[in-house]
Amino acid sequence: MKIDFLQQAIDLAAENPRKGGGPYGAVIVKNEQILASNANLVTKKNDPTAHAEILAIRRACQNINSFWLTDCVLYSSCEPCPMCLGAIYWARLKKVYFACNRFDAAQAGFDDSFIYQEIQLMPEQRTIPMLQIDIADANKPFQVWNNFSEKTPY
Amino acid sequence: MKIDFLQQAIDLAAENPRKGGGPYGAVIVKNEQILASNANLVTKKNDPTAHAEILAIRRACQNINSFWLTDCVLYSSCEPCPMCLGAIYWARLKKVYFACNRFDAAQAGFDDSFIYQEIQLMPEQRTIPMLQIDIADANKPFQVWNNFSEKTPY
């Protein structure tokens, strides 16, 4: 852990509101070198997925031409929300360091903590109901995938 | 619920492997009209966040110039993973319908079910350890945010 990288993530976050973004920053590091750093751009880009961590993961992947960030470390000004946590797993990052946590975020008016509660409910019982529908072709995409010899697994 | 929209999401998913993408599709609907539809582009774009749902949310937001999708419904070929679930909450969608579930995805080699387990663990106990670091400026970004009168809350 290098405290400088975490400080950079915090500085990005603290400078961002006056640039029109949310108070979050993220830095991705490989072999002690910064691969990507981003602040939150949700409101600036009209993109609810444009969290600092998501943007840094996407940019780091572009920079190394890979959809995996094996051996990379994420430094974030705040504990990643469930969306960013999912992205961290899909990107196969090695480790995450953060400064604030989900409860600090909730106090500042961000719903991280609420989403962590919702995710543990049965899909149909959530505030945003998620309903499985019985349809004949449901498994067709996975059957096609399993039978397709030229696929790139991920 | 319109089964045609779910069928379209499945068709996008089933056609996608031979186009070089993963077996997932998503359609976002407002007032019975399709706002956006996308298949998975993770391997094609070297972007681990390019799930069908994330891409559809981003495109739908661009199409209506908003970072919220209030009153919109998501149809997905598969139960959204935790990353996409987070995005669904941030986008404030109204409802989600899906065909396959996380266990079908796991059988096809996708880690959705595993990430749902990981998210319930304490951050430091996860397979990808997530560690809170004590640093003096931790709360500075949220303090800046709270004191900034011209912010756009989201």
How much is the ipTM here? 0.96
The answer for B 35-54 residues in CB contact with A (under 8 A) is: 42-43, 46-49, 54
Using N-to-C axis directions, what is the helix angle for B82-91 and B52-64, rounded to 10°?
20
* Average pLDDT in chain A: 96
Q: Which residues of chain A have pLDDT under 70?
A: none
Contact flag A141-B25 (C-beta cutoff 8 Å): yes
Dihedral of the alpha carbons of B47, B49, B53, B54, in degrees to the nearest 10: -100
pLDDT band per the 50, 70, 90 thresholds, residue B111: confident
Dihedral of the alpha carbons of B53, B56, B61, B67, in degrees to the nearest 10: 10
Chain A nearest C-alpha distance from B102 (Å): 11
Active site residues of B: 53
> Taking residues B125-151, what's their average pLDDT?
96
Contact flag B42-A145 (C-beta cutoff 8 Å): no
Contact flag A54-B58 (C-beta cutoff 8 Å): no
pLDDT band per the 50, 70, 90 thresholds, residue B83: very high
pLDDT of residue A22: 97
- Is residue A117 within 8 angstroms of chain B, CB to CB? no
pLDDT of residue A111: 85
Nearest by CB: B61 against A46, A67, A104: A46
The answer for B 129-148 residues in CB contact with A (under 8 A) is: 129-133, 135, 137-142, 144-146, 148
Paired tokens of A99: 């400064």
> To probe the interface with A, which of B42, B47, B101 has the most A CB atoms within 10 Å?
B47
Nearest by CB: B14 against A57, A90, A144: A144
Distance CA A131, CA A114 (A): 20
Query: What's the 3-state SS for A26-82?
Result: EEEEECCEEEEEEECCHHHHCCCCCCHHHHHHHHHHHHHCCCCCCCEEEEEEECCCH
Q: Which residue of A has its CA nearest to B41?
A: A67
> To probe the interface with B, which of A67, A92, A95, A150 has the most B CB atoms within 10 Å?
A67
Residues of chain B in contact with residue A60, where contact means CB-CB under 8 angstroms, are none
Distance CA A37, CA B74 (A): 31
Nearest by CB: A130 against B79, B131, B146: B79
Neighbours of B50 (CB within 10 A): 23
> Taking residues B35-52, what's their average pLDDT?
98
